[in-house]
Every structure is written in structure tokens, then in C-alpha cells.
């Protein structure tokens, strides 16, 4: 209607039949039409700018690889193919991480790496047990898992049964033996049960995936106790050996080591995890009480359990948590321990006399993966109360959400000599726990701002 009216008017204008009044009205109308079309296209442009900005934020939060790409390119691509782009980056991230972390025990020749234990020893420094890129890892773990055992002793440190073995060449390893089947669920208090050998293995791989690099190297190993241990065992260890129903058992030497609670092999074959002993020059530790230590007494609560302001009031004002890397190591440790379900970080160790920048070593992760149906919220307390986290850890957590973490974990553990390492219910638990961790940090950000929560460096309050 409007269009035909305009056409009639235009033809009259051309034929010169239009009055002056009509000419003015038509001119005004056409001018308004031009202004309207101009404004419309301008708004469209604004809208598409917003879409680009939104897409960029999503990427910044999810994949830091993206941040390294030229921003201009990202803007265009993200606006045109936001979904596809995200998918591609996620797939690229996964395949890069698999390349970085994958272990090949079958194909690797031990000789490929000249002296694997020397390589492992050279890796250690005050902030890492191994580097981010570690192609020699397969050869090192394979050697740990297969090298001849030349000496075996009880390791009297700690509360749990474990052996200290020397491998050919003199390298020491701790052997933590199997006590439970993979589907056994530990109930009761969060720190109940014996050590879980498979948990020690899974925790090590999680440490690699998170790129913390603070856990000693661990691999599965089956040992013929009669042939490989008994002939080279010390007197004091051998004294704890018994035979029960055709199975070889031992109870070792430790605080809770009792004859009534022996660890028994399947016949002569004992499955376990071997943990690489740290090099001598890095084996003088400073052992410290964890600021979030439990009382281990029923009905008695620690300060942090009674007071949500404990971190701000006490921890953040106490050396060495008042500034520097230590408190960020504590909250990194919270992320790690919550994922693995470890509520037993009563003490921690650092390298003695290596400055205040030394890391918290994530040693002893065997009291984890006890109950996949329970997510122990008390483990979150340091993160919840201190509300600070390394920005790099946050970025990594975001990269690993939506099943990426468990996909990688399953993949990298699949070649361990005693795979499968974790029952699927534990992988499921990790996915749930990662979501809860992300929510915990998000809550902190909402309350205190991103700048105050996500840090590169903690300068104190």
C-alpha cells in the first residue's frame, strides 16, 4: 500500500503534475526513510560487535591457547563460527595434551634413554619434580617397573606398610602394596582405610595433567615376593613375612604395622605402586604441619573447622603464608586433594634450605580415591576461606572441564602395567568434583573480584 502510494506520487512528480506542498511532503518522507535505514544498519553493526566480544570472553575463560592467537583473527572467526571454533580448539587442546602426557611402555626401549634415573634426578628443582614436557617419562617409569630389585627393606617412616627397594644401579623406590580391589569403597571417616596403591598412581597422573609437577614419579608394578624380594630382603623385613592360605603376606615396620593386619599377595604375586625416591641432594625435607590439619579425634574440631574467618584472621598473617608462593601452593593442593578425595594432608614437606620459594611437594597421595560417592567438602576449606588461587590453575581447571580431565586421565593411565588404575565411578567423581571446585572459585570471584582471587603472586593483605 505504502509502496504503491509512493510510486504514484513519484510518477506524478516526474510528469510535473505535483503541487509544491506534495513535493515537500514526499521529500521529507524520503529523507526520513534514508535516516531510518542508516540507523538500522548502524545498530546491526553494534549488535555484531557485542557477539564478538561475548565469544571472545568465552574463549578467554576456556582455552588459554586462544589468548596466544592474534586477537583480530580471533574476533572475525569467533563471530562467524563461535561454536565450531570452540570445538576445534578443545580437540586441539586434547590432542596436544595426549601427545605431551601419553606413555608408551610396550614400544619404548629402555636403552632409548641412556640413564633414565639420572634424567629423573636432573629434573628436580625447588619448583618441580619433573618438567612440563617429559618425553623420557615412559623410559623412566618402565625402568622403575621392570628393573631388577637388588635390595629390599621395610620403610619405617609413617603409619602405613611400605617397602624401600633398591633397583639395579642403586636407585631407591618406595613400594606401596595393594590392599583393596578397584571397586572397594571406603566408608567412615574421610581419612579411614589403608593406603591405596592405585590412588598413588592416579594422583601422579593428575599432577601431570594439572601441570603442577609436584608429585614424585609413580608407576604400577607386580612383584614376585618369593623370587624378587625374599632373597634380597633385610633381616628385619623378612621377620615380618608369613604364609597364609598359600599366599605370602608381610606386615613391615611402621606406626600402625601389626601382624594382625598383614598385606597379602595373590600367591607369590604382589601388586603395588613404586614411587621414585627423590635424589639424595633433594632428600633433606622440612616437614611442616598443614595449616588445615585435622585433629583426628572424634568430636574435637580444629580452628579452621569452627571459624570461617580462620584464613583471613590467622593463616594470611602467619609466616610463611603471609606472602609469597606458599599459600598459593596450599590452595593448589586443595584443588588436587579435593579431586582425588584426600583428606589426610596432615603435614607437608618442602626441600630444606632451598629458599622461601620452594614448592609444597605432593608426596604421599595414597589415602585418596576411597569413596567415589562422597565428595568431602571439608577438603575445600582452604580455598573457600582464603579465596585465592593461582591464575594458571584456574585457567587449567577451565580447560579441563566438561569431561576433558577424565578423558585425559583415563588415556594416560591406560598403559600403566597394572591398568585399569581407577574404577569408572572414581572418574565420574572427578568430573563432579571439578565442577564443585569451579563453583567454589566462582563464588569467591563474585564476592571479592577476579583481581583479588586469581593471582600470579600473593603479596599479603
Total of chain residues touching ligand ATP, rule CB under 6 A: 18
d(CA 202, CA 413): 7
What are the DSSP calls for 57-71, one per residue? Answer: HHHHHH-GGGGGS-H
CB of 158 to Mn ion, least distance (A): 6
Residue entry with cell 632451598:
354
Cell numbers placing 381: 576449606
d(CA 345, CA 335): 13
Residue 247 pairs in a beta bridge with 244
CB of 158 to ligand ATP, least distance (A): 2
Catalytic residue among 153, 329, 337, 344: 344
Q: Which stretch binds Mn ion (CB under 5 A): 5-13, 172-180, 357-365, 411-419?
A: 357-365
- Find the binding residues for ligand ATP in span 111-150 (CB under 6 A): none
| Contact of residue 174 among Mn ion, ligand ATP, none (CB under 5-8 Å per partner type) | ligand ATP
Site for ligand ATP (CB under 6 A): which residue of 48, 51, 67, 283?
A: 283
CB of 216 to ligand ATP, least distance (A): 4
Residue 264 pairs in a beta bridge with 249
Residue entry with cell 593406603:
195
Q: How many CB atoms lie within 10 A of CB 72?
A: 8
- Find the binding residues for ligand ATP in span 220-259 (CB under 6 A): 254
Nearest to 265 by CA among 197, 165, 201, 204: 197
Q: Per rule CB under 6 A, is residue 278 in the interface with ligand ATP?
A: yes
Q: Assess whether 344 carries a catalytic annotation.
A: yes
Residue entry with cell 625447588:
126
Q: Per rule CB under 6 A, is residue 270 in the interface with ligand ATP?
A: no
Q: Per rule CB under 6 A, is residue 279 in the interface with ligand ATP?
A: no
Could you list the beta-strand ranges (E) of 211-255: 218-224, 241-244, 247-250
Cell numbers placing 427: 572418574
Residue entry with cell 604400577:
220
CB of 352 to ligand ATP, least distance (A): 11
What φ, ψ does residue 363 adopt, rounded to 5°? Answer: -95, 145
- Could you give the angle at the alpha carbon of 267 between the alpha carbons of 272 and 228, nearest 5°? 60
Q: Which is nearer to ligand ATP, 335 or 363 (CB)?
A: 363
d(CA 380, CA 366): 19
Q: Per rule CB under 5 A, is residue 200 in the interface with Mn ion?
A: no
Using Cβ positions, the residue closest to ligand ATP within the complex turns out to be: 158
CB of 245 to ligand ATP, least distance (A): 27
Q: Per rule CB under 6 A, is residue 275 in the interface with ligand ATP?
A: yes
Q: Per rule CB under 6 A, is residue 158 in the interface with ligand ATP?
A: yes
Q: Per rule CB under 5 A, is residue 228 in the interface with Mn ion?
A: no
Handedness of CA 315, 321, 323, 325 (dihedral sign): negative
| Contact of residue 157 among ligand ATP, Mn ion, none (CB under 5-8 Å per partner type) | ligand ATP
Cell numbers placing 97: 595434551
Q: Per rule CB under 6 A, is residue 285 in the interface with ligand ATP?
A: yes
CB of 189 to ligand ATP, least distance (A): 14
d(CA 415, CA 427): 16
Q: Which is nearer to ligand ATP, 199 or 225 (CB)?
A: 199
Task: Name the residues that contact ligand ATP, by CB under 6 A.
Answer: 157-160, 174, 195, 216, 254, 275-278, 283, 285, 349, 363-364, 366
**Residues at the interface with Mn ion (CB under 5 A):** 364
Active centre residues (catalytic) = 344
Amino acid at each position: 500500500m505504502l509502496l504503491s502510494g509512493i510510486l504514484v506520487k513519484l510518477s506524478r512528480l516526474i510528469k510535473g503534475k505535483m503541487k509544491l506542498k506534495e513535493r515537500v511532503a514526499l521529500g521529507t518522507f524520503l529523507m526520513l526513510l534514508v535516516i531510518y535505514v542508516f540507523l538500522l544498519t548502524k545498530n546491526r553493526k553494534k549488535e555484531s560487535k557485542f557477539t564478538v566480544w561475548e565469544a571472545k570472553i568465552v574463549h578467554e575463560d576456556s582455552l588459554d591457547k586462544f589468548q596466544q592467537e592474534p586477537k583480530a583473527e580471533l574476533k572475525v572467526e569467533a563471530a562467524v563460527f563461535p561454536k565450531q571454533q570452540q570445538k576445534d580448539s578443545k580437540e586441539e587442546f586434547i590432542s596436544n595434551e595426549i601427545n605431551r602426557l601419553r606413555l608408551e611402555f610396550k614400544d619404548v626401549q629402555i636403552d632409548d634413554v641412556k640413564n633414565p634415573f639420572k634424567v629423573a634426578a636432573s629434573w628436580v628443582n625447588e619448583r618441580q619434580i619433573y618438567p612440563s614436557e617429559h618425553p623420557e617419562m615412559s623410559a623412566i617409569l618402565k625402568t622403575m617397573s621392570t628393573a631388577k630389585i637388588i635390595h629390599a627393606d621395610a620403610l619405617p617412616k609413617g603409619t602405613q606398610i611400605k617397602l624401600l627397594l633398591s633397583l639395579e644401579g642403586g636407585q631407591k623406590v618406595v613400594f606401596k602394596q595393594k590392599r583393596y580391589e578397584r571397586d572397594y569403597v571406603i566408608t567412615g571417616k574421610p581419612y579411614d582405610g589403608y593406603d591405596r596403591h592405585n590412588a598413588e598412581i592416579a594422583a601422579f597422573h593428575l599432577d601431570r595433567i594439572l601441570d603442577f609437577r609436584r608429585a614424585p614419579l609413580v608407576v604400577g608394578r607386580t612383584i614376585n615376593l618369593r623370587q624378587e624380594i625374599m632373597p634380597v630382603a633385610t633381616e628385619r623385613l623378612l621377620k615380618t613375612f608369613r604364609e597364609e592360605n598359600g599366599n605370602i603376606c608381610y606386615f613391615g615396620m611402621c606406626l600402625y604395622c601389626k601382624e594382625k593386619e598383614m598385606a597379602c599377595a595373590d600367591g607369590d604375586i604382589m601388586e603395588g605402586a613404586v614411587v621414585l625416591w627423590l635424589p639424595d641432594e633433594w632428600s633433606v625435607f622440612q616437614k611442616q604441619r598443614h595449616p588445615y590439619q585435622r585433629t583426628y579425634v572424634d568430636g574435637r574440631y580444629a580452628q579452621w573447622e569452627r571459624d570461617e574467618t580462620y584464613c583471613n584472621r590467622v593463616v594470611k598473617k602467619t609466616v610463611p603464608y603471609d606472602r609469597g608462593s606458599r599459600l598459593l601452593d596450599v590452595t593448589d593442593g586443595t584443588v588436587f586433594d579435593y579431586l582425588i578425595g584426600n583428606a589426610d594432608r596432615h603435614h607437608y614437606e618442602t626441600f630444606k634450605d632451598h629458599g622461601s620459594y620452594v614448592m609444597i611437594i605432593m608426596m604421599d597421595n595414597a589415602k585418596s580415591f576411597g569413596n567415589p560417592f562422597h565428595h568431602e567438602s571439608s577438603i575445600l576449606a582452604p580455598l573457600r576461606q582464603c579465596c585465592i588461587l593461582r591464575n594458571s590453575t584456574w585457567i587449567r581447571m577451565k580447560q579441563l572441564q566438561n569431561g576433558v580431565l577424565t578423558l585425559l586421565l583415563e588415556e594416560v593411565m591406560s598403559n600403566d602395567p597394572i591398568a585399569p588404575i581407577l574404577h569408572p565411578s572414581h572418574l565420574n567423581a572427578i568430573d563432579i568434583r571439578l565442577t564443585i571446585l569451579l563453583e567454589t572459585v566462582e563464588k569467591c570471584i563474585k564476592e571479592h573480584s577476579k583481581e583479588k582471587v586469581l593471582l600470579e603472586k600473593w603479596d599479603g593483605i
